A and B are shown apart, each in its own frame.
Chain A
Amino acid sequence: MTSRPELQAPPEIFYNDAEARKYTSSSRIIEIQAKITDRALELLALPDDGVPRLLLDIGCGSGLSGETLSEHGHQWIGLDISQSMLNVALERETDGDLLLGDMGQGLGIRPGVVDGAISISAVQWLCNADKSSHNPRLRLKAFFESLYKCLARGARAVLQVYPENVHQRELILGFAMRAGFAGGVVVDYPHSARSRKEYLVLTCGPPSISATVPKGKDGDYESCSDDDIAEDDENQTVRMAAPRKRQKITKRGKGREWVLKKKEQMRRKGNIVPPDSKYTARKRKARF
């Protein structure tokens, strides 16, 4: 059996009553969740004026991450797809409000009202198609677009994710970028297989000085790491380019250069592409 819950069942089924209880009664998981949330809050870089903010917790589950938010005095709204997890959250009497919803359907929050969003180990679920009607690309698009809309200008979203592979990371980042976010990935403890944590730090609005990506943590692993592959090396911060400009389309089409570039891209991906010749991207005669 694989150790990735994403590959076993859809989230609303995987996190059933038994799993939800197991998840929330493990002191190890509680501690790790609290640590990740603390780190996410740090990366969120809210102004340090002691004013409580309205935060969004996407995939709040049983409210473990929300508890850390409450400890910092913030008001939060949590969204999760698993009724069982939310039931546990109710039992724990979390301070935030809970919503039963699917982030892949969009968040359904009014534009520009949220001061920040965090998500702990949830967004990678969007990469799976659990129903025939699910299209991961459309769901990621809906999620990031609605997230971008509901955040206030200049607000940040910090999403801790466990992408399964490079493709998933690129997919998630790509859709974040297309929705208009600036930012990048912060990797904590890049050399440790277990305590390695990836955070997408996304800023709403045009890239500016405040949109610089913070550094990942390295060095002494905290108690959430159990392995010994400790190497002291450079931190790893993957930068994401600013949102792309729209390609201009003139009357004469996109031009030969553009076609050649695209063909080259396809070749690099390993697709079968016809060879370039003098006929490439040449216009047909008016009468065909």
Chain B
Amino acid sequence: MRLLTHNMLSSNIKGVINGFPLRIEVEKVVEKPVDFNPDFLKNMFSKIEWKPLVDASRTMGYAELPEEADASMLDSHDFLQRFHHALLELHLEEGALFCPETNRRFPVNKGIPNMLLHEDEV
């Protein structure tokens, strides 16, 4: 699972008001190179919640993202490279996600988070 997906996912449990962002527990991180596409990054930037992305990338062991970011930084190639790496190339291979409100654990196996809910959580 990439951080792009992590930045989109929220906990879906009944009664949870703000299920975003899911806390990450890391067991194994892998890096897979992806083609660099500045257009996609510029398009995505407005939709990304920056702080959760920074926090998540730190948990995954990548601390190169600036604490704050705004649209003017998108002209910097260096910034885009870092953004690209954090968003698309870091994969959470093994670990777990936790709902911020209920602390429900969603296991991540082979890079696939298991978001299936029990009957009483729907």
Contact = CB atoms under 8 A, between A and B. Distances in A.
B43 A99 contact: no
A98 interface: yes
Interface in B28-48: 34, 37, 39-40, 43-44, 47
B115 A101 contact: yes
Contacts of B34: 95
Interface residues of B, number: 31
B111 A108 contact: no
A266 interface: no
A21 B19 CA distance: 35
A113 B113 contact: no
A86 B111 CA distance: 10
B1 A101 contact: no
A34 interface: no
A142 B117 CA distance: 13
Of the four ranges (under 10, 10 to 19, 20 to 34, 35 or more), the interface on chain A belongs to 20 to 34
A73 B113 CA distance: 24
Contact of B8 (A50, A51, A90, A113): A113
A77 B34 CA distance: 15
28 contacts: A52-B40, A52-B43, A54-B44, A54-B47, A75-B4, A75-B88, A81-B116, A86-B112, A97-B1, A97-B2, A98-B111, A98-B112, A99-B1, A99-B112, A100-B114, A102-B116, A105-B116, A106-B122, A108-B11, A108-B12, A108-B19, A110-B9, A110-B49, A113-B47, A114-B8, A131-B119, A133-B122, A146-B12
Given A87-B110, A108-B19, 16 more contacts: A52-B37, A52-B40, A53-B40, A54-B8, A54-B44, A77-B8, A86-B112, A98-B1, A102-B117, A105-B117, A105-B122, A110-B8, A110-B9, A110-B20, A113-B8, A142-B122
